[in-house]
């Protein structure tokens, strides 16, 4: 009996040490990411058509900083963070390494709402019609996914419902593009769908920021439940996790964050897929601890990609969504090869 007690004490001590080490690793990762993200944010503020550096805070230069550079940097921070934390939450909840924000149809729905706003001419009537259309499209698609999946559905059913609605939204978007009233409208739709932070104002920031913050806050409340899910659904329920409440929180938080992000910038892909994978080893593969680092990592990736494309294409011909897709495609290939090595194929 004495040996058994000693073994249990040693095991408990080992678990406590592992937990402390994991927490320290998370805090260290968050600290490094926060510093590097701040540097990327400042670089975004300093980069402009006339060169590198902060303009004098007066007159026309002040307007350039506040009305052009600041909204772009803030949206890079918020949109990247929204995509990163949503990808981490969905991968943890669905236990699917390929889960990303577009999986539940939110991105496709936002794109559909935006192109309808352009097609009908509402977007030309007032500047905020485009993001409002995107928000409505994302909301309608998310509601359809939830209704299609049902209240007591398993995660795989939610995935299937999301894929189905993504396909429907993609088909309808193609139909709207095909029926565009003129070539100029088609070009405007295609450019918006490529994703960009340029030509956005503080009005877009004020529209998206509250929803992104609210969505991220909801996702952060699920960190303990996501960690419990790693033990299996039955064990998680024994630990007090309510599956229906968790699913609704994940879906609502993702819809708010991704819907708001996509509605103001267009579709920016692969961020929510790539960032959690890159950061997972630094948090001991615990999905709950991955949420905050993924928010910062997503923000860093989008800000860095935006700074890079402004250096490569000052005229703005290259779109941010294209850059992130070019970064994400090789990562997909690496993920496939890594999976083959893992299973000895």
pLDDT tens string 164-192: 999 999 999 999 988 888 888 888 888 88
Q: How far is CA 271 from CA 2, 54, 55, in A?
A: 53, 28, 31
Q: Which CATH topology does 2-342 take? A: ABC transporter involved in vitamin B12 uptake, BtuC (1.10.3470)
CA distance 162 to 274: 20
Which one-letter DSSP state was computed for residue 48? E
**Which pLDDT score is estimated for 313?**
74
Per-residue model confidence as pLDDT tens digits over 4-20: 544 444 444 444 444 45
Mean pLDDT, the chain, integer: 83
Are 297 and 33 in contact by the 8 Å Cβ rule? The answer is: yes
Domain boundaries, the chain: 2-342
Q: Which two structure tokens, joined as six digits, stand for 78?
A: 């918020």
Question: Whole-angstrom Cα distance, residue 164 to residue 160?
Answer: 6
Higher pLDDT among residues 326 and 217, named by residue: 217
Average pLDDT value for residue range 188-212: 88
Helix, strand or coil for residue 17? helix
pLDDT for 33 equals: 93
Answer yes or no: is pLDDT of 58 > 60. yes
Average pLDDT of the segment spanning 275-294: 88
Q: How confident is the model at residue 249 (pLDDT cuts 50, 70, 90)?
A: very high
Per-residue model confidence (pLDDT) at position 13: 40
| pLDDT above 60 for 284 | yes
Predicted confidence at residue 16, as pLDDT, reads 41
pLDDT at 217 over 60: yes
Q: What is the tens place of the pLDDT at every residue in 134-148?
A: 899 999 998 998 888
Between CA 190 and CA 222 the distance in angstroms is 36
Q: Residue 188, Cα to own-chain centre: how many angstroms?
A: 24
Q: Which two tokens stand for residue 255?
A: 């819809």
CA distance 130 to 266: 10
What are the b/e assignments for 116-148, b being 16+ CB within 10 Å? bbbbeeebeeeebbbbbbbbbbbbbbbebbbeb
Residue-level pLDDT at 7: 46
Q: pLDDT, tens digit, for every residue of 295-319?
A: 999 999 999 999 888 888 776 667 8
Cα–Cα dist 56/45, whole Å: 12
State the pLDDT at residue 22: 57
> pLDDT at position 14, please?
42
pTM, 2 dp: 0.86
What DSSP designation does 56 have? P
Structure tokens at 211: 């929803």
Q: Residue 307 has which token pair?
A: 């700074």
**Alpha carbon distances (Å) from 31 to 37, 38, 53, 148, 290:** 10, 11, 26, 41, 13
* Residue 47, beta-bridge partner list: 52
pLDDT tens digits along 73-126:
999 999 999 999 999 999 999 888 778 888 888 889 999 998 998 888 888 787
Banded pLDDT at 49 (limits 50, 70, 90): low
Share of the chain above pLDDT 70, in %: 84
């Amino acid at each position: 009996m004495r040996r058994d007690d000693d073994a249990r004490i040693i095991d408990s001590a080992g678990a406590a040490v592992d937990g402390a080490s994991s927490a320290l690793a998370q805090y260290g990762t968050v600290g490094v990411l926060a510093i590097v993200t701040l540097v990327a944010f400042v670089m975004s503020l300093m980069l402009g058509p006339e060169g590198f550096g902060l303009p004098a805070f007066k007159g026309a230069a002040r307007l350039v900083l506040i009305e052009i550079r600041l909204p772009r940097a803030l949206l890079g921070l918020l949109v990247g963070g929204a995509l990163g934390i949503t990808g981490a939450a969905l991968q943890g909840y669905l236990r699917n390494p390929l889960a990303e924000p577009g999986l539940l149809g939110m991105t496709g729905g936002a794109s559909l709402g935006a192109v309808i706003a352009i097609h009908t001419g509402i977007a030309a009537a007032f500047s905020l019609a485009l993001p409002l259309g995107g928000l409505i499209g994302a909301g309608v698609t998310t509601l359809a996914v939830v209704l299609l999946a049902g209240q007591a559905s398993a995660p795989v059913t939610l995935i299937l419902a999301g894929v189905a609605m993504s396909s429907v939204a993609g088909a309808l978007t193609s139909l709207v593009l095909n029926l565009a009233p003129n070539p100029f409208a088609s070009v405007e739709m295609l450019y918006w769908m490529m994703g960009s932070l340029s030509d956005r104002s503080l009005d877009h920031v004020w529209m998206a920021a509250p929803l992104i913050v609210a969505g991220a806050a909801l996702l952060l409340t699920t960190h303990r439940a996501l960690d419990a899910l790693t033990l299996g659904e039955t064990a998680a329920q024994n630990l007090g996790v309510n599956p229906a409440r968790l699913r609704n929180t994940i879906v609502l938080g993702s819809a708010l964050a991704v819907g708001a992000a996509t509605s103001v910038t267009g579709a920016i892909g692969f961020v929510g897929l790539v960032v959690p994978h890159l950061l997972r080893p630094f948090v001991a593969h615990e999905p709950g601890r991955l949420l905050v680092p993924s928010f910062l990592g997503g923000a860093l990736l989008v800000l860095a990609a935006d700074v890079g494309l402004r250096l490569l294409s000052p005229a703005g011909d290259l779109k941010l969504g294209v850059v992130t897709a070019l970064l994400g495609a090789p990562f997909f290939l690496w993920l496939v090869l890594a999976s083959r090595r893992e299973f000895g194929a």
